[in-house]
Amino acid sequence: MQSPSELSDLVRAPCKTCGAQLKFSAEKQKLSCDYCGNTEDILFTKNNLHENPLTFRVEDRQLPNAPTEEKRLFTCQNCGAKTMVNFDAPTISCAFCNSKNVNPDAQKTRLIEPAGLLPFRISKPQALQRFKSWVGDSWLSPSDLSAGAMLDNLHGMYIPFWTFDAQAYSEYSGEAGFYYYVPVQVRDANGKIVTQQQQRVRWEYRRGSHQAFYDDMLEMASRKLSQRESQVQETSRFNLQEVVDYDPRIMLGWEAEVYSIDLAESARKAEAQIRNREENACASQLGGDTQRNLNVDTTLTNQTFKHILLPLWICTYVYNSKQYRFLVNGQTGQIAGERPKSAWKIAMLVGGFLLLILFFYWLGKR
């Protein structure tokens, strides 16, 4: 069995004043020292945010759906402790002194390195404040939720995403139906002949085309968060114009994840979304009050992708001994998550609705 090797290329950014490891500050947008308060500028560039053609393929080394783990020996440069770590972990946290170090080689073990990342702008105190405002901001939640919710974990983490671009051209054909009404004589319940307006449909065959360019379609590449994808989507309204070139120093002091959903799987999801949007656009152009036999043929060209890292606060809190999860957008502060519901408030709402129905029923009987 091959012995583990030393990780010698961890990113270091020692403070020029006291020598401690610098961290990236979301509030200051600089490298900052927790010990002496010294800050150092970091240059954000946009020179490497190139689109890659989606025809890119790696035939012999395609990533498996379940990433393998390679163990290596990590020597902490802060306290000297030696720890077995996952080689593919992009940030390495020392179990003894809790210092975090960036492992750029972890990204290199994957087939595609990040082209860019979006630096955190929401700090931990700001994320905590967003949580306090959000957790009690629901009428259906228990009245004591704000006071009783105990924050359990609050992790600022860079989450892997793919972005996809494509030019779509669609040709469609189908029948648009337009409602019209004709008077028809029928017998009512008493046998009396009455005139009613009955609906008819006039069908028109139509054909046409639609084209659109889809820019930066986001697909999350974290299988760990896939079970919370609805929350991720709700908090994933990022301003991608602020993405900068990938620089491991921006990850200092933060956690990060290497992608576990590969390019091919994510590309299929993005393509399905584009085709669905094209079908909806063609249906809108077809028009009518109703439709039938809609056929859409979509061709995608100029398909490209990028791999980027985006900031999310991944958080849990405890209320009445039960754990709930929520996410905070690390750029905008947008929040989404789980909140308990008050049983008596729901009962009161249902009861009020039933009383309203009974009231209108009583009015109708008068």
Write down the domain spans for the chain: 1-42+66-109
pLDDT surpassing 80 at residue 26: yes
Task: Note the pLDDT tens digit of each residue in 38-51.
Answer: 999 999 999 989 88
How confident is the model over 306-324, as a mean pLDDT? 86
Of 7-21, 40-54, 104-118, the poorest mean pLDDT is in 104-118
Best CA proximity match to 152, nearest among 121, 128, 133: 128
Mean pLDDT across the stretch 125-135?
A: 86
Nearest to 253 by CA among 71, 33, 2: 33
* Mean pLDDT of all residues in 80-99: 57
Segment among 84-93, 246-255, 303-312 with least mean pLDDT: 84-93
For position 68, what pLDDT does the model report?
37
The closest of 24, 55, 51, 203 to 118, measured between CA atoms, is 24
**pLDDT-based confidence at residue 59 (cuts at 50, 70, 90):** very low
Residue 81 tokens read as 């402790």
162 and 306 Cβ atoms separated by less than 8 Å: yes
Cα separation of 266 and 306, whole Å? Answer: 11
d(CA 56, CA 146): 50
Q: Report the run of H or E that residue 166 belongs to, with start and end.
A: strand 150-187
Residue 258's pLDDT band (boundaries 50, 70, 90)? confident
Give the separation between CA 258 and CA 114, rounded to whole angstroms.
9
227-254 pLDDT, tens digit per residue, is: 777 788 888 899 999 999 999 899 898 8
pLDDT at 55: 75
**Strand partners of residue 74:** 83
Beta strands 255-256 and 150-187, pairing class = parallel
Average pLDDT, integer, range 287-314: 95
Q: How many C-beta atoms lie closer than 10 Å to residue 281's C-beta?
A: 18
pTM greater than the 0.85 cutoff: no
Nearest Cα to 199, choosing from 176, 181, 186? 181
Q: What is the mean pLDDT of residues 342-365?
A: 72
| pLDDT of amino acid 154 | 81
What confidence score (pLDDT) does residue 27 get? 95
Tell me the mean pLDDT in the region 53-79.
Answer: 52
Among the ranges given (95-99, 199-203, 220-224, 250-254), the one the predictor scored with the smallest mean pLDDT: 95-99
> If we measure between CA atoms, which residue out of 264, 224, 215, 282 comes closest to residue 243?
215
Q: What is the pLDDT of residue 274?
A: 97
Average pLDDT (159-182) is: 96
| Residue 98, pLDDT above cutoff 90 | no
Residue 301 has pLDDT above 60, yes or no: yes
Q: Which of 248, 256, 253, 243 lies closest to 118, judged by CA?
A: 243
Quote the pLDDT of residue 91.
66
| Burial grade of 139 (CB within 10 A; 0-12, 13-18, 19 or more) | exposed
